[in-house]
Every structure is written in C-alpha cells, then in structure tokens.
Amino acid sequence: MTSPNRSGSRRDVVILGSTGSIGTQALDLVRRNPDRFRVVGLTAGGGHPDLFEQQVAAFGPAYSGLGEQASIEAAAMPADVVLNGITGAVGLRPTLAALAAGNTLALANKESLIIGGPLVKRAAAPGQIVPVDSEHSAIAQSLRAGRAEEVRRLVITASGGPFRGLARWQLDDVTPDQALKHPNFDMGRVITTNSATLVNKGLEVIEAHLLFDVPFEDIDVVVHPQQYIHSMVEFTDGAVVAQLGLPTMMVPISMGLAWPDRVGGAETPIDWTRASDWRFEPVDDEAFPAITLARRAGELGATHPAVFNAANEVCVDAFHEGRISFTAIVDCVGEILKSHHVGSAAHELTVEDVLAADAWARTAAAERIETLT
C-alpha cells in the first residue's frame, strides 16, 4: 500500500462522517499533529449539526457540507487521503468517488467494500485502499512480515461482545440496553449491536477476503475478550505475527491517514510492567450463527453481501424498537438471504445492482418482521 503526497510532508485530508466516532477521533489526531495533516474537506450526515459547525470553524476546510452528495463531492477533491468514516451502505458512492479521483482511501466504512465487492475492487488501484478497521489494520501491518505466497491463514479476533459464554436460549430475552453495553468500545447503535450478535465479525470476514485476496476457508475468527491482540497472520512456516495494542481505534486511524508511515504518540503503549492474562476461545456458532451466515453470503458473492448487510440494518432497528427479539435479528437475515435470487444475466456488478439489492432486502426484511410482531 502506498500513499501519494501532493503536499510535501503534510498530507491533505478529507474526512467523511466527521461527527461520528471515527471522524471525531481522526480530527483529534489531526489537531495534535498539525505538521503532518491538514483538513481540506469535512462532511457529515447531519445528525449533529452543532458539532459539525464547530469542526468546520476549528479546521477551516476548503469544502464542507452535509449529506451523501456532499460526501461524494468531497471524496473527489484533490487530496492525499480520504477517510471514509460514514456508517452504512450510503458510503458506497463516496468510496467510488475517492477511488475514481485517485485519492488514497482510508476505509472505515466497511459496508461499501462488502456490498460493493468486485465493483469497488475494480475501481481501486493496487494499494489505494488502506483499511481502518482495527482488525484489518492489524492484518495489513502484520502482512509486512512476509510475502503473500507465504500466508497460510488470517485470524480475526473478536471480543465476543457482552453476551460471550451465553447459550442461545439465554439470548432470547436480551434487551436493547444490554446489547449496547460493549465491553471495550463506545460505538453507534448499529455497530454496537452488530458486535453483540457477531454480525460485525461476519462482515469483517467478508472484508478480509476482499482486501487481502485470501480464500474464505483460510480466514478464522477467534474470541479474545481482552482485545489487546487486534488480529493475526499465520505464515506457512508456522510463525504467527500479530499487532498488539490497547483496545482503541487511534492506531488504526493514524495508520489510515499516514500509511505506510506511523504517527508518533498516536496511542499510549501497553504497560508491560502490569500483570495481565490474555485468553482465546472458539466462537460458539450455535449461539452466534452470524459468522457462518456471512461466510455463506460472501461465498455466494454478487449482491448477496449487500442483502446480508441491508437486512441486518433493518432487523437491528426493529430489535431496538421492541418489535423482534435479539436472536430474531440473525434468524431473519438468514431467511432474507435464503430468498434472494440473483438473475442469470452475465454482467459486471454495477452500483445500480447493489442499491437495488439493498432496497429489495430492506423491503423483504420489513415484511418478514411484520409476520413476527
């Protein structure tokens, strides 16, 4: 992965989704490193207009705006790095705009790669996408230790969420408030709920397959509750290289903005003088079937990952509205995925295909939920 720098030692940065968790942390990093980064574009969805106004006033970007179209326009600006911190499928067009403009894309919006799949990969030059998810950033860093042909498998770590160790029958009465109590991170409603169902790990398996061209059968998930090891790469000689750090997003964000360089002081290192125990556990696929379901969607390809993602978003909303149970989220997604049939026409995947599948899945999920309430 390389990063062209049009502005010398200081990089021009566009941040999409600036009022979200990723965006606010990225701006904090920029604020602490004015000699390394300059904000030239800021956009947000519009949910926190007062905060957005404060950010624009503080950083004085050349371009700022609210909404999807603003993000598309900002992503196409001349810049060294575009950080896509948008949540959801709405991040797809900005991702494609950044790639078409030749900008390095620091990708925190995993949905755009997952639902866009081959569409996004066709648009990206080698090394143009730098992953910002902590797991995929860890893998990208670990892959520096060997050549692609020396990789045996990728190991993605998971906290296990707030319900780690519970049997499936114990999950039926989980409440929305309980689902939002992630053990290590403070994230938005959808992402936090996805971490509780392990849908997030399923999406990350698809993302890893697309980012690193590793077959699904060579991508494993292991529960690591402490989340100090962010993910690992196992090489053919048996060596395992991992990236370790505190369970925060500052290192992945800093790597996304500065790749392939590092930003000094991005995060406090682990205190190795303090005793701590780290453990690993297998995923309970019976209680948490989301990873298996996501693998199936990824292997089917085409618009199936888009259907998986869209149906899940609708089901998460329904769960928080008290309309379906916690376990019904993934069960419902599975039913929608099973009923999705891709046409036989042999053509390359288009944005229209993806968005049509997304819309179909949302409607199908809403109709399915009606039968459950």
- Condensed to tens digits (0 to 9), the pLDDT of residues 137-151 reads 999 999 999 999 999
Q: What is the CATH number of domain 11-132+251-258?
A: 3.40.50.720
Overall average pLDDT of the 325-335 stretch: 97
Do the first three CATH levels of 11-132+251-258 and 145-226+282-372 match, i.e. the same topology?
no
Identify the pLDDT of residue 373. Answer: 79
Distance CA 91, CA 105 (A): 12
Kindly tell me if the per-residue pLDDT of 342 is higher than 90: no
- Say if residue 162 is preceded by a cis peptide, omega within 30 of 0: no
- CA–CA separation, 198 vs 186, rounded Å? 16
pLDDT-derived band at 184, boundaries 50, 70, 90: low
Name the band, by pLDDT with cuts 50, 70 and 90, for residue 341: confident
Q: What average pLDDT does the segment 345-370 reach?
A: 90
Round to whole Å and give the CA distance between 17 and 6: 23
pLDDT at 75 exceeding the cut of 60: yes
pLDDT of 3 reads 41
Q: Average model confidence (pLDDT) for the chain? A: 93
pLDDT above 50 (res 157): yes
Q: How many CB atoms lie within 10 A of CB 78?
A: 14
Share of the chain above pLDDT 70, in %: 95
Residue 84 has pLDDT above 70, yes or no: yes
Average of per-residue pLDDT across 7-36: 93
pLDDT band (50, 70, 90) for residue 9: confident
Q: What's 145-226+282-372's CATH class?
A: mainly alpha
Q: Is the predicted pLDDT of residue 348 greater than 90, yes or no?
A: no
Per-residue model confidence (pLDDT) at position 5:
47
Which pLDDT score, from 0 to 100, does residue 243 have?
97
Average pLDDT over residues 35-39: 98
- pLDDT, residue 6, reads 45
Q: Where are the domains of the chain?
A: 11-132+251-258, 145-226+282-372
pLDDT digits (tens, 9 = 90+) for 188-242: 788 889 999 999 999 999 999 999 999 999 999 999 999 999 999 999 999 999 9
Q: What is the pLDDT of residue 190?
A: 86
- State the pTM of this model: 0.93
When pLDDT is averaged across residues 287-292 and rounded to a whole number, the result is 97
- Give pLDDT, residue 185: 60
The reported pLDDT for the residue numbered 186 is: 61
Stretch 327-356: mean pLDDT = 88
Q: What's the pLDDT at 93?
A: 96
Q: Give the 3-state secondary structure of residue 153.
A: strand
Beta bridge partners of 250: none
Cβ neighbours around 355 below 10 Å, total: 17
Q: Which residues pair with 84 in a beta bridge?
A: 16, 107
The predicted pLDDT at position 1 comes to: 42
Give the span between the Cα atoms of 65 and 93, in whole angstroms: 16
Q: How far apart are the first and last CA of the chain?
A: 48
pLDDT band of 2, cuts 50, 70, 90: very low
**Which residues does 211 contact at the CB level (< 8 Å), separation at least 6?**
113, 129, 131, 136, 139, 140
**Distance between CA atoms of residues 196 and 188, nearest Å:** 12
